[in-house]
Chain A
């Protein structure tokens, strides 16, 4: 079994949508999550706060730097993710397809490195 990251990227516009608009999405994602748990596929997952809440910390070169904002300035940021367990990429793709339908966004699939 391999662990895969299913990453969903979001823009500021996505966060600006109203609660009423987002409510059905939350419900669909919640049902999808419960299914993942029931099928033993779920490892971890969740949605992230908007990018303004991000801080970048740098401890390289013996320094201690705490900087407001994300590591890279882009239009879209990681908005949420799942970590799942699957036997191979095709299975991961099938789960990612369901994830994409549930959350209404494109899903990037990346395998974790083997230990």
Chain B
């Protein structure tokens, strides 16, 4: 019993691991996502039937792809008896080699650019990427983004219908467009990660299934585009954030960077992230393109994770990196994060002046940053009001717990 359920878990793991590859290969070959997905699902059924007796094949991904492709051809043959014209269109022999001929030829790379196509709505890009490349079920994606399963199913169905009707191609964009289009892909992956890292709603402060999935997609992309600095930068950023995940929470409460138990950080992930950041720096030093936002954010996180003690943090370097980041991406949220670093370098009064100049009153982190600066300046009554505003603006339970504790520890001016 245990053995068979272990085997089933192993089959599920392999299936999820290989799903993107199988679907991408079939989508390229048959030019139809529904055929690709149905065939992949049928291949899973066959694997569950056969592998317990035959054993897991030496190349399970290849087995799944071949089985799915054969199933798809059978289905097209059956259907084409009713529609010979369709047959002519679909029975194109596959003359492209099945072995990946190079990273750019990988079918998954074509598919990720299709899933993240600018002609699709942003929320549909995220859902499609998780479904087709991540192999997550519609139910899992719906749960992760807290929408009804029917809503999510509809969102995915509509996006697939648009891909089909408008003929969005399965193709890696041409060199001139690749940077813009890659930006959309990276944005989708980072959005998945962030939704997992500090979820905006729901009872769980962190959704590890989402952070893990984003990192897995980031690794695939890195494997496919090893020369792209921003791909390495995003992966490093996610790894260096993920490394601190367990230390970010204690007893259901958010723990800020300065109070984290640094022995709880994952040293392996940090080493991997630091190596990627060093690689990016070397590439920039050798005269490649200036670093984009992900590489700079990764560098900031590399500085943070470089010291055993918060007090040893090199704040001048952090502020300099934030200046660089703001130059690339001048958003008020980056200005806010920069101000938090400025507080360490130049004092809370200087930082508060910057924070007050930002138009972010609907953003919980703005109130939280303001509350903390007011507290450090001894302006307890104002700090209390800001903590209240921050608590009202966040839906994350761990953050609420943290903010409530901070508020409770304020020195009461009337006491």
Contact = CB atoms under 8 A, between A and B. Distances in A.
B177 to A, nearest CB: 8
Nearest to B85: A115
Nearest to B168: A89
A2 interface: yes
Contacts of B119: 89, 93
A90 interface: yes
B82 interface: no
Interface in B119-168: 119, 165-168
B62 interface: no
Contacts of B169: 87-90
Interface string B344-370: 000000000000000000000000000
B171 interface: yes
B61 interface: no
Contacts of A93: 119
B78 to A, nearest CB: 21
A113 B168 contact: no
Interface in A85-111: 87-90, 92-93, 109-111
B165 A87 contact: no
Interface residues of B, number: 9
A89 B169 CA distance: 7
Nearest to B170: A88
A109 B168 CA distance: 12
B173 interface: yes
A109 B118 CA distance: 13
B117 to A, nearest CB: 8
Interface range, A side? 10 to 19
A9 to B, nearest CB: 18
Interface in A1-57: 2
Interface in B97-124: 117, 119
B165 A90 contact: no
Most buried by A among B119, B166, B171, B173: B166
Contacts of B173: 90
A113 B171 CA distance: 22
A12 to B, nearest CB: 30
A110 B173 CA distance: 21
B164 to A, nearest CB: 9
A92 B166 CA distance: 9
Contact of B171 (A2, A90, A92, A111): A90
Contacts of A90: 168-169, 171, 173
Nearest to A1: B167
A40 B171 CA distance: 23
A100 to B, nearest CB: 15
A111 B169 CA distance: 13
Nearest to B118: A93
B165 A88 contact: no
A106 to B, nearest CB: 15
A111 B167 CA distance: 8
A111 B168 CA distance: 10
B110 to A, nearest CB: 12
Contacts of A109: 166
Nearest to A113: B165
A2 B173 CA distance: 19
A88 B171 CA distance: 10
Interface string B28-48: 000000000000000000000
A51 to B, nearest CB: 28
* Most chain B beta-carbon neighbours within 10 Å: one of A87, A90, A113: A90
15 contacts: A2-B166, A2-B167, A87-B167, A88-B167, A88-B168, A89-B117, A89-B166, A89-B167, A89-B169, A90-B168, A90-B169, A92-B166, A109-B166, A111-B167, A113-B165
Interface of B: 117, 119, 165-169, 171, 173
Interface of A: 2, 87-90, 92-93, 109-111, 113
Given A92-B166, A92-B167, 13 more contacts: A87-B167, A87-B169, A88-B167, A88-B171, A89-B119, A89-B169, A90-B169, A90-B171, A90-B173, A93-B119, A109-B166, A111-B165, A111-B166
What are the 6 closest A-B residue pairs judged by CB atoms, nearest first? A88-B169, A88-B167, A111-B166, A89-B166, A89-B168, A2-B167
